[in-house]
């Protein structure tokens, strides 16, 4: 019966939260509001260390290339292999998180990616570096589905957009500081030392999270997920047959391509266009990632405020996504600017647009997917997003080596979000919250035990 209720919910049919949880909707998760925010903030801080490797590698590309004898094409191949490892891993991590639940997934995930980052300290040859990168790409794939699963578990539906936005802003704050700290760490300990720092930071944050989580019961759908897998025979069977899954994941693949393009290649763009050194990259990269964090926070805050004012969820998601796509659209025109500061500000707006769009996609997952399936749908979306990222970072290396420049890449970036939006609306004309009492009605104000 419970499995039947969940299937109806995923298809958008009206199902009460009491029926989905099998009990009082006010007893979903035994955690106070303050504790919920602390746990989520610590997970986001762990995410900073999780994501450090990409900006570190991008910032220190000249040092790595000189050390290992790599050109642009080889660097693009390394980035693509890392993305491929992460993409494949997402197929497992979503299943693992739904199966294990939040607490055990945090322990397994943070420990794994922290030790993978530490392994870079002993990598000396190209082969060893590639192996360490593949290991890190595979293990850090836990972070995205784990974060969304935690949001769906700890927070009421109307607070989830704000939580996702705040989490992205926290992660972006760390990324903003990296361009200033990485050259200092690299000067003292080399590029390997910066990645060892990321691994150590992840383990320390895990200890703090475990202390904060003592006594907390996470009602994250793990027991329902276990029953679901045994009934369906395959962990991804229940989601691959859903049209909404494909609406989300293809939109994710298209929009994430631009994110990975800029994540891996923005420092190189600044070097080519303005001749900046590694130390001089700090300010423009900080502006870009400040835009990223600000866009996520603002999109989450606006989404929450609009829902509180009575907007239906579908209208909120549609409005934020279109506005975000419009922020990215002018990116090809930065190549016409010959002044550094306008370009830096424009890139900040582009990343703000990406985060607003991405936040809406993740929020749609928590809107339309039952809690026991959130990890798998998020992970499958991230899998497709990383495949898009793998393709774009490899193509970028080939295009630049051939002398094609950034113009065709930025044209694709400008179009990708409108293509993603169109695909999403085609397959999912309306966002109908799974926890809403009626298909088109406002979100309920039911509370968890967090209040």
- pLDDT, residue 352, reads 93
Distance of CA 270 to the CA centre of its chain: 24
Burial class of residue 122 in the structure, from the number of CB atoms within 10 Å of its CB (0-12 exposed, 13-18 middle, 19+ buried): exposed
- pLDDT, residue 136, reads 80
Q: How far apart are CA 163 and CA 155, in angstroms?
A: 8
Q: How far apart are CA 43 and CA 47, in angstroms?
A: 6
Token pair in block for residue 124: 């000396």
Burial class of residue 329 in the structure, from the number of CB atoms within 10 Å of its CB (0-12 exposed, 13-18 middle, 19+ buried): middle
Q: How far apart are CA 380 and CA 110, in angstroms?
A: 20
Nearest to 270 by CA among 285, 257, 256: 285
Place of tokens 């009605």: 441
All structural domains of the chain: 32-217+230-427 (1.20.1250.20)
Cβ atoms of 380 and 320 within 8 Å: the answer is: no
- pLDDT, residue 420, reads 96
Token pair in block for residue 233: 């025979």
- pLDDT, residue 235, reads 58
- pLDDT, residue 230, reads 39
- pLDDT, residue 342, reads 92
Rounded to two decimals, the pTM is 0.65
- pLDDT, residue 220, reads 56
The mean pLDDT values, 10 residues at a time, for the chain of 451 residues are 42 35 40 85 84 70 75 76 79 81 88 86 78 82 83 82 80 71 74 79 91 79 46 57 88 91 88 83 84 87 90 92 95 90 93 92 86 79 84 88 91 95 93 56 31 29
């Amino acid at each position: 019966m419970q499995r039947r209720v969940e299937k109806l919910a995923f298809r958008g049919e009206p199902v009460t939260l009491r029926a989905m949880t099998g009990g009082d909707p006010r007893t979903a998760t035994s955690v106070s509001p303050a504790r919920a925010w602390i746990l989520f903030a610590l997970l986001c801080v762990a995410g900073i260390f999780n994501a450090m490797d990409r900006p570190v590698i991008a910032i220190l590309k000249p040092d790595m290339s000189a050390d290992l004898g790599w050109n642009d094409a080889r660097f693009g191949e390394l980035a693509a292999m890392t993305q491929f490892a992460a993409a494949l891993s997402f197929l497992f991590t979503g299943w693992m998180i739904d199966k294990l639940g939040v607490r055990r997934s945090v322990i397994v995930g943070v420990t794994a990616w922290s030790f993978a980052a530490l392994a870079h300290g002993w990598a000396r040859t190209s082969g060893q570096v590639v192996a360490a990168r593949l290991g890190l790409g595979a293990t850090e794939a836990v972070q995205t589905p784990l974060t969304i699963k935690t949001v769906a578990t700890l927070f009421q539906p109307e607070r989830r957009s704000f939580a996702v936005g705040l989490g992205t802003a926290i992660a972006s704050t760390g990324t903003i500081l990296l361009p200033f700290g990485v050259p200092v760490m690299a000067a003292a300990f080399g590029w390997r030392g910066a990645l060892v720092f990321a691994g150590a930071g992840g383990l320390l944050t895990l200890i703090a999270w475990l202390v904060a989580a003592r006594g907390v019961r996470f009602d994250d759908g793990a027991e329902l997920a276990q029953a679901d897998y045994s009934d369906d025979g395959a962990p991804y069977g229940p989601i691959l047959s859903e049209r909404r899954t494909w609406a989300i994941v293809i939109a994710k693949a298209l929009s994430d391509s631009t994110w990975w393009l800029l994540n891996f290649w923005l420092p190189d763009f600044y070097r080519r266009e303005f001749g900046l050194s590694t130390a001089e990259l700090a300010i423009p990269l900080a502006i870009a990632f400040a835009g990223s964090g600000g866009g996520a926070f603002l999109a989450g805050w606006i989404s929450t405020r609009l829902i509180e004012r009575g907007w239906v969820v579908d209208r909120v998601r549609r409005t934020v996504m279109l506005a975000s796509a419009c922020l990215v659209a002018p990116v090809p025109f930065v190549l016409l600017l010959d002044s550094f500061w306008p370009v830096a500000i424009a890139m900040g707006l582009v990343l703000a647009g990406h985060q607003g769009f991405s936040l809406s996609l993740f929020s749609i997952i928590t809107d339309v997917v039952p809690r026991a399936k959130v990890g798998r749908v998020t992970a499958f979306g991230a899998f497709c997003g990383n495949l898009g990222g793998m393709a774009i970072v490899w193509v970028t290396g080939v295009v630049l080596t051939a002398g094609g420049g950034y113009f065709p890449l930025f044209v694709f970036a400008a179009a990708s979000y409108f293509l993603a939006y169109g695909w999403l609306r085609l397959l999912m004309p309306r966002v109908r919250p799974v926890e809403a009492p009626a298909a088109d009605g406002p979100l309920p104000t039911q509370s968890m035990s967090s209040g």
